[in-house]
């Protein structure tokens, strides 16, 4: 919320004290734990940075590949590496506001079908050579080329062409309006690389260069001493390492073998804080864990079975018991309150109703099913065990096939009829739904298709009336929650934890998808 960011800045500037800050957070309905995290974050940013030292940051590997190429990114470690090595045209900050990056400025015509970008002069690639419009055109055309492997190609289905007007000006022409273009260009996959660069080691312009890379293990980076802007770059080096299991990441942090971790399990947060040496950050977000019922095969294609699984979700208990209050109840579509005006608050909440669940499951003809479960996000295993227990009470046998996260995304997700999933938040509601539920969605993980959904996704980008746009988004969220195969019992806050010696770090609703690129700004105290 903007109010939170305002009070954090006021605290950093000395305009409010600790008591006044906590009182303000309480008035905004923010829990004491979260308020403390926000205060700690503000305090860290208020310190005096010092140069030197290095940090080890640990995350999961979300996809089958671990890559240096930004357009292939599928996991948090990929996105963070992209933010470390590369820059994009536009940057989104922690308060979700847009700011210039490699594009000094940008503009669009009245109906958002033409966009013009003025490219920053004097920016050098790690392996030499100046950034020009030709590099931008090359980078963006990779997303729309025939057979493109881009994980966000569905963002750019309306692109006619990217064109270099002169050495430092690029024009984008679209076949239909897209008011979300600027936000789409902030994602890690849209980073700019050097033209015709096959070797990605030196193809970026970012704050840190690459020293070594072991796919699936780690990458090591050093400060780019020729960086084009002065944002601090306080650290001598950064190591990005993969620790797939959330509990293992938390244990590594408490043992001192890593300095920063993403998404520690909620049940260990108090233990982390109790060390007195670590800080937990919590930010409300659209991040979620869910269940995918594949609509192209049984039993996921059975509408009543999916409805039965919807009504058996004890959502409030999941948030209270497993998320420890650090999240919000889900409504079987990805757009929660973190998306602001595009969230359909008037859509009725799907209740926990065992009687309705039993009715639909009996109607489905199924008395049992098998669900593949991996710890893809901290609470999902517990949520599935709770679902299993509640289904047993109404005579349905849900078998849980528990598998490790390693290899899960390549061997199970989008393959087994019933499986679990986690998704981070995208910069706009349209982008989130397009990539997962659009006709050309890259990761349509329930194989649900709807012509009406495709039409709404397209038309909402051109709608300038806030009320009409909201109506469109409500219809899309209703379609997903009633017709698709996704079940989303809960959204969890973006949770990060770090050694208290690491300062200047904050998080935003987008997690590692956005924010003010923490790699440039964090520092380590002695």
Nearest to 8 by CA among 48, 49, 36, 50: 36
Pick the CATH number of 288-492 from 3.30.360.10, 2.60.40.10, 3.10.105.10, 2.40.160.20: 3.10.105.10
Altogether, the residues listed in the chain come to a count of: 526
3-class secondary structure per residue, 48-80: CCCCCCEEEEEECCCCCCCCCCHHHCCCHHHHH
Return the H-helix or E-strand segment holding 289: strand 288-293
> How many angstroms separate the CA atoms of 115 and 519, rounded?
29
CA dist 35 → 32, 58, 410, 434 (Å):
5, 25, 39, 33
Domain assignments of the chain as residue spans, ordered by start: 1-46, 87-202, 288-492
Q: Where are the beta strands (DSSP E) in 35-147?
A: 54-59, 90-92, 98-100, 103-108, 114-119
CA dist 115 → 74, 163, 247, 355, 447 (Å):
27, 11, 45, 53, 33
Q: Which two tokens stand for residue 500?
A: 């208290």
Q: Which two tokens stand for residue 109?
A: 């015509």
> How many angstroms separate the CA atoms of 359 and 304, rounded?
9
pTM confidence score: 0.81
> How many angstroms separate the CA atoms of 189 and 170, rounded?
19
> How many angstroms separate the CA atoms of 4 and 325, rounded?
18
Contact (Cβ atoms closer than 8 angstroms) between residue 299 and residue 417: yes
Q: Per-residue confidence of the chain (526 residues) as pLDDT tens digits?
A: 556 655 665 454 334 445 556 666 666 666 555 565 565 555 545 568 889 999 999 988 755 567 899 999 888 888 899 999 999 999 988 778 899 999 999 999 999 999 999 999 999 999 999 999 999 999 999 999 999 999 898 889 899 999 999 999 999 999 999 999 999 999 999 999 999 987 788 999 999 999 999 988 899 999 999 999 988 889 999 999 999 888 999 999 999 999 999 888 888 888 999 999 999 888 889 999 999 999 999 999 999 999 999 999 999 999 999 999 999 999 999 999 999 899 999 999 999 999 999 999 999 999 999 999 999 998 999 999 999 999 999 999 999 999 998 889 889 999 999 999 999 888 899 999 999 999 877 789 999 999 999 999 999 999 988 999 999 999 999 999 999 999 999 999 988 899 999 988 777 788 754 556 788 888 998 7
> How many angstroms separate the CA atoms of 466 and 496, rounded?
34
Return the H-helix or E-strand segment holding 46: helix 32-46
Q: How far apart are the first and last CA of the chain?
A: 33
Return the H-helix or E-strand segment holding 288: strand 288-293
Class of domain 87-202: alpha beta
């Amino acid at each position: 919320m903007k109010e939170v960011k305002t009070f954090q800045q006021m605290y950093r500037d000395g305009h409010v004290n600790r008591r006044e800050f906590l009182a303000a957070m309480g008035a905004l309905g923010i829990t004491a734990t979260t308020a403390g995290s926000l205060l700690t974050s503000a305090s860290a940013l208020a310190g005096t940075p010092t140069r030197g030292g290095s940090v080890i940051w640990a995350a999961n590997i979300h996809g089958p590949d671990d890559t240096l190429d930004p357009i292939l990114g599928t996991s948090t470690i990929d996105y963070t590496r992209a933010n470390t090595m590369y820059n994009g045209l536009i940057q989104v900050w922690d308060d979700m506001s847009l700011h210039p990056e490699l594009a000094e400025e940008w503009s669009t015509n009245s109906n958002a079908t033409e966009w013009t970008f003025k490219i920053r002069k004097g920016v050098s690639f790690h392996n030499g050579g100046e950034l020009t419009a030709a590099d931008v055109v090359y980078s963006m055309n990779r997303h729309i080329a025939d057979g493109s492997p881009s994980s966000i190609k569905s963002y750019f289905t309306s692109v006619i062409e990217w064109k270099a007007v002169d050495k430092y000006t690029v024009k984008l022409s679209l076949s239909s309006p897209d008011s979300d273009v600027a936000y789409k260009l902030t994602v890690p996959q849209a980073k700019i690389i050097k033209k015709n660069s096959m070797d990605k080691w030196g193809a970026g312009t970012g704050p840190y260069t690459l020293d070594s890379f072991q796919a699936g293990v780690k990458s090591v980076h050093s400060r780019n001493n020729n960086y084009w802007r002065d944002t601090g770059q306080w650290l001598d080096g950064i190591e990005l390492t993969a620790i797939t299991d959330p509990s293992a990441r938390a244990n590594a942090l408490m043992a001192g073998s890593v300095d920063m971790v993403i998404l520690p399990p909620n049940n260990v947060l108090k233990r982390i804080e109790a060390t007195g040496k670590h800080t937990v950050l919590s930010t409300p977000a659209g991040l979620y864990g869910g269940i995918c019922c594949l609509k192209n095969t049984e039993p996921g294609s059975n509408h009543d079975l999916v409805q039965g699984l919807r009504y058996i979700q004890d959502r409030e208990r999941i948030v209270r018991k497993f998320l420890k209050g650090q999240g919000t109840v889900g409504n079987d579509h990805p757009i929660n309150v973190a998306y602001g005006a595009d969230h359909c608050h008037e859509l009725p909440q799907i209740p926990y109703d065992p009687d309705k669940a039993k009715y639909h499951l009996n109607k489905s003809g199924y008395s049992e099913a098998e669900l593949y479960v991996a710890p893809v996000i901290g609470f999902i295993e517990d949520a599935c065990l709770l679902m299993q227990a509640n289904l047993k009470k109404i005579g349905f046998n849900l078998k849980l096939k528990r598998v490790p996260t390693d290899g899960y995304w390549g061997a199970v997700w989008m393959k087994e009829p019933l499986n679990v999933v986690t998704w981070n938040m995208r910069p706009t509601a349209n982008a989130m739904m397009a990539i997962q539920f659009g006709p050309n969605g890259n990761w349509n993980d329930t194989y649900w298709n709807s012509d009406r959904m495709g039409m709404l996704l397209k038309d909402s980008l051109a709608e300038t009336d806030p009320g009409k746009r909201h109506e469109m988004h409500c219809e899309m969220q209703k379609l997903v929650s009633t017709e698709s195969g996704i079940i989303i019992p809960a959204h969890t806050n973006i949770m990060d934890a770090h050694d208290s010696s690491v300062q200047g770090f904050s998080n935003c609703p987008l997690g590692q998808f956005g924010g003010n690129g923490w790699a440039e700004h964090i520092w380590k105290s002695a």
